[in-house]
Amino acid sequence: MKHTDLLRRGVRCALGALALGACSPKTAAVVTTAPAPAAATATAAAPAPAPAGPAFQIPVEYYTLPNGLRVTNSLLGGSFGSRITRNIREDKGYTYSPYSSVGTHYHTGDWSESADVTTKDTYNSLHEIVNEIERLQKTPPSADELKGIQNYESGMFVLRNSNPGGIISQLNNLDLQGLPDSFLTEQVKNINAVTPAQVSATARQYIRPEAMTIVVVGDQKVVAPQIKKFQDSLKKPL
């Protein structure tokens, strides 16, 4: 059987029963590959909010929520100097290019962390990702750490709008979500208004290991026992 057929079968087995818009978290889905690879690809994903306008019956004060999630994501795993990256790449060497992101869709969104990790360190990698999430949930970042991330996100916003394509993309998102112009014109201000306490609160509300679907693609013989160990290690939500 081809690798693509194995992958397709694994995805269908793991996620095929989900209805559109439903959220049924799974701790892990293991897809075998042959020959056995030296690395496993792990992705942890959870539902998250997206900006939405009056047509979606969300009040104006929620317009700034995605900025808090964006800042939280960058601090946790969405930038090169993020906590997860420093932990499983720089400190422990489990992976080369881990990265988290916030996906925005029509009136919904998702947060995900992905990494190609050494197969033997699958459990260690997932365990450290959850450790960093829980650490941020419990303890707000320092003002200096948060300010560095806010400067990064403010700069990225400017860069994303430095060409016609970027501007069109931003305007398209405004139209899709039914947002006012102020969502863009006040975005840098709102990014810099996020507080350390709000970062921790955002992590507790939206980046929750117990709500995540975790998919690992790798050598089942090596990965499956580590997944079982990871399942047994999960703690109760905060």
Alpha-helical (H) ranges within the chain are 3-15, 65-73, 83-85, 122-138, 143-160, 164-177, 182-185, 187-193, 196-206, 220-233
Q: Is 228 left (phi over 0), alpha (psi -120 to 50) or beta?
A: alpha
Q: Which residue has the higher pLDDT, 67 or 127?
A: 127
State the average pLDDT over residues 22-32. Answer: 56
- Could you tell me the pLDDT band of residue 231, with boundaries at 50, 70 and 90? confident
Closest Cα to residue 6, out of 26, 28, 34, 29? 34
Q: How far apart are CA 98 and CA 74, in angstroms?
A: 12
Closest Cα to residue 191, out of 74, 46, 48? 74
Q: Is the pLDDT of residue 56 over 60?
A: no
Enter the pTM of the model.
0.80
* Cβ proximity of 24 and 211 under 8 Å: no
| Eight-class DSSP state of 55 | G
* Cβ proximity of 43 and 215 under 8 Å: yes
Q: How far apart are CA 194 and CA 208, in angstroms?
A: 20
33: tokens are: 């590959």
In single-letter form, the type of residue at position 198 comes to Q
108-112, 119-123, 202-206: least confident range: 108-112
